[in-house]
Structure 1
């Protein structure tokens, strides 16, 4: 399937069969964020609060929404052609590569995983022979090893001892030909790397010729599949890969992928809300940090204008937090690393992003909710970290709007049998007013027939929904992502209609509502626009 979101579906227990397991124990947090929450600004009066409540539609309004995925936050599988303009696009940031010496038939590896020399002693079972790329230009890179050190030089010896990327060396990968697996690696000292007979690796060969099998400077490369995908295709990879072309290409995308006519169509088809995935750098527009370009903030402003004209509510979704909260493409990770929550400054920066959005849009009549963090990864993002962050963010949001909804996303897990229940968030949410818990229910069960998949929705999902609604207290439940992708073999159009209808009927029981992933997509089963235009889904005919 070639993308992280579809890859996650193969771990469908995360939000599927065992989505309602008992709450997991979480490790203690090392942070407390309250002391840095800024002092209260101008108070919002009771009259504003009352008007805001009326604008939100009080308790009668329920979200029948769509996500605007792939617009202001990139996921390559949604619009694959965006990556066509990236030169040398096999070598994106975060791509993991193995280098095998054609002479010794051993892989380059970081001794002990990092903090030592680079050697050629790994066979195919070695765990330390994965090098993650940090792209500098089309053909030059920094290499990051499994324990997160960067590769550098100690005179002519090749080592992996520094953790600061700017102190590491830059290497050029020179390919024999466009499709060849044979490469040479040229170090920043101007010399080529060679694999020696004693397993050491040095950068000390000045002149090379040919690509013979006994040449110690020639390596065979393998692109490694990590967590069922080879390439990370998010904003960092795209914008850094485009280089000087990024500003023009991204602006054209922002201007054309979602336009006002889309909001007009949504309203026509009965869609009343959009969840807009955002990256943290939007808060710094028009001068976002490297490698991001400007344009997302103006597009977001347009979305609020269009939403007001067409009677659509907006949920702002911080899909990519500073440092990445889950290490996958749609969190804008550079190389699969997860850094969110590891430092106080990181959390403070995230709170400042939330404040930027709350201040800019807090009094706009179309704002319906702010989602603090999409799919934080368990167990690396702890429950206590989420709680402290949520309480601090709640205070910030309430400075600008007394009743707009604050949304907490259930934690993501890539391990089938170690999944926290989304109900772990209910105690936090119940202690904060106007708070919602967001679950993502994708259904890719190993059922070959359409009816089995439909029955799973009607039986299993119905049971899960009943349990959620019986234990949620004052917390509202939101199915923030779902789709019509499934494993049924040779389904008919009518089968797909029944599958979609069954999901909508169950998810419409959620007290906050639902949002389909996503509005536009290269894959039809993931495109609500396509499903509506082809009469697969008719939102207005569903009984709520």
Structure 2
């Protein structure tokens, strides 16, 4: 089904009361996010820092023509028909598609939409439709950065989207562009206008949601809007009445699903209660307004033999137990969900590039260095660098105690420091080294690197997929 399909009004998903409906019947959307594709992330595909910095390093190493070739092939191989067929075989029915605004326009040529900007988005939406999979288009990186983290691809630690109306204006134009293109496609479940916003004032987000809703509805009156809560999808405390035909989205990561938790998950009543209370707090707004619940992101990360931990398999079993605990909670709440994520290089994905592929073989020393320096935030074990950062944190708190109250207060001081020193400054410098791995590569070699992410070259995280399949079969009665 193409992006220009003439959809009948009754074929669109629609919000009514507590449910998302298809042809008048409730439907739960269950699936995953295709992170690392049209919005890359450092831990997903192995580069350091921010996407635009890593892309620039590769372009410098191989030149414009090979750069364009490599990334076109990367986007092609990363998700194809075999991926969709496998995904549907698990009983999953929805894929969230994170996109970076740079696919559609350039900062040095704003408001001019690229002719090929929708090429791969169209392709994947059409493939998914063929296998009965709905898609949610998610603007994961907006001009200026809608949040303070690396996945907004702004290059810094400030969400300048909220301070500059021009960034917001450009984002409205992007959504008008997307709405115009996909308004008739009934296999697009809807639009996720901003991923994990962080508006320190809280009220600017609400004003933007009202504005983008009007802009989209003027072009496309049918598609659902999936609206993330503030502060990484966790805070709805300032939200008023729900906007029409909208689903409000939380993100619900468990601290027990990552390295260095305060305690390992053993499934005690107390630990289960922690998860229940956390989710209840995030969905209180939806339940109060009797509206549908969509958990747009959740899921543990996993260890591998290469991490050097003798009990890595036991650790993973505990994290699978965390996942099962969360899915039980979501089932009771009749919540739709999208696990993070479908494909990567082995941290979190349902499938991942094999260790013996060209890409993983080439970058193996670099990935080890990133791990040793804790260059990435997501899923990293900072044990190797704590002897450096513990004294730094102590010095910061002695010098500026206000750091402990810095927004978002859900972050510890060590998190703020790690973001600035390791995930930004250190990682920016690592980009130079990363680019050097691509120097002198031929078109054939670049194709082989990109093809490392094709389904045929990926391994499956079997236990994770079994858990997701079991839940997909747990249909509402």
Q: TM-score of the superposition, structure 1-length normalised?
A: 0.55
Q: 1:443 aligns with which of 254, 257, 265?
A: 254
Partners of 1:304 and 1:364 in 2: CA distance: 9
Q: Is residue 457–residue 502 contact of structure 1 (8 Å, CA) maintained in 2?
A: no
- CA shift, 1:66, in A, is 0.2
1:388 equivalent to 2:211? Answer no
> Would you say the 8 A contact 1:49–1:401 is kept in 2?
no
Question: Which residue does 1:517 correspond to in 2?
Answer: 340
Among residues 467, 471, 475, which one is paired with 1:538 in the alignment?
Answer: 467
Residue by residue, what CA displacement relative to the aligned partner does 1:319-371 show, whole Å, maximum 9, x if unpaired?
Answer: 10111112322111134443202232221111111111111112101111211
**Residues in 2 aligned to 1:60 and 1:266: alpha-carbon distance in whole angstroms:** 21
Indicate which of 231, 236, 240 corresponds to 1:423.
236
More helix by share: 2
Aligned CA-pair RMSD: 3.3
Where does residue 351 of structure 2 map in the other structure? 529
SS in 2 for 1:538: helix
Secondary structure at the aligned position of 1:438 is classed as strand
3-state SS in 1 of match to 2:30 = strand
Cα–Cα, structure 1 residues 506 and 404, in superposed 2: closer, same or farther, change >3 Å? same
Structure 1 residues 511 and 408, CA gap change in structure 2 (3 angstroms): farther
Partners of 2:185 and 2:88 lie apart in 1 by 19
Structure 1 residues 421 and 253: alpha-carbon distance in aligned structure 2, compared to 1, 3 A threshold: closer
Q: 1:475 offset after TM fit, Å?
A: 3.1
Q: Distance in 2 between matches of 1:401 and 1:455?
A: 46
Instruction: From the superposition, tell whether residues 308 and 60 of structure 1 become closer, same or farther in structure 2 (CA, over 3 Å).
Output: same
- Shift in Å, 1:308: 1.1
Report if aligned partners of 1:254, 1:296 keep a CA contact under 8 Å in 2.
no
Equivalent position SS for 1:348: helix
SS in 2 for 1:391: helix
Q: How does 1:77-156 map to 2 (within 5 A)?
A: 77-80=43-46, 83=47
Gaps of 5+ in 1: 1-44, 84-230, 414-419
- Aligned partner of 1:52 in structure 2 is 12
Residue 404 of structure 1 corresponds to 223
Query: Which of 355, 370, 377 is the equivalent residue of 2:191?
Result: 370
Q: Secondary structure at the match of 2:159?
A: coil
Worse-superposed segment, 465-474 or 475-484: 465-474
Q: Could you tell me how far apart the structure 2 residues matched to 1:338 and 1:463 are? A: 29
Relative to structure 1, the CA distance from residue 237 to residue 493 in structure 2 (aligned partners, 3 Å threshold; closer, same or farther) is closer
Number of equivalent positions: 335
* Structure with more relative contact order (C-alpha pairs < 8 Å, separation 6 or more): 2
Residue of structure 2 equivalent to 1:334? 155
Give 1:507's aligned residue.
330
1:461 to 255, 263, 275: 275
Q: 2-side partners of 1:263 and 1:461: how far apart?
A: 31
**What pairs up with 1:76-475 in 2 under 5 angstroms?**
76-80=42-46, 83=47, 232=49, 234-243=50-59, 244=63, 245-284=66-105, 297-379=118-200, 382-412=201-231, 422-424=235-237, 426-428=239-241, 430=242, 432-445=243-256, 446-452=261-267, 455=269, 458-466=272-280, 468-469=283-284, 471-475=287-291
What is the CA–CA distance in structure 2 between the aligned matches of 1:378 and 1:486, rounded to whole Å?
A: 31
Please report how far the alpha carbon of residue 237 of structure 1 lies from its aligned counterpart in structure 2 after TM superposition: 0.7
Indicate conservation of the 8 Å contact 1:66/1:518, yes or no.
Answer: yes
Shift of 1:471: 4.1
| Larger deviation, residues 257-266 vs 475-484 | 475-484
How far off is 1:294 after superposition? 8.0
Equivalent residue for 1:226?
A: none
The ranges of structure 1 where at least 4 consecutive aligned residues each deviate by more than 6 angstroms after the TM superposition are 287-290, 486-489
Return the alpha-carbon distance in structure 1 between the equivalents of residues 193 and 76 of structure 2. Answer: 26
Distance 2:194 2:254 in 1: 22
Q: Secondary structure at the match of 1:508?
A: helix
Q: Deviations over 1:429-476 (max 9, x none)?
A: x2x112122221111242443305x75663222234445357431432
1:481 has 2:294 as partner: no
Shift of 1:509: 4.1
- 1:532 to partner: Cα distance: 6.4
Larger Rg: 1
Is this contact kept in 2: 1:317–1:372, CA < 8 A?
A: yes
TM-score by length of 2: 0.63
- Structure 2 CA distance for partners of 1:408 and 1:277, relative to 1, 3 Å: same
Say which SS state the counterpart of residue 427 (structure 1) adopts: coil
More strand by share: 1
| Cα shift at 1:310 | 0.3
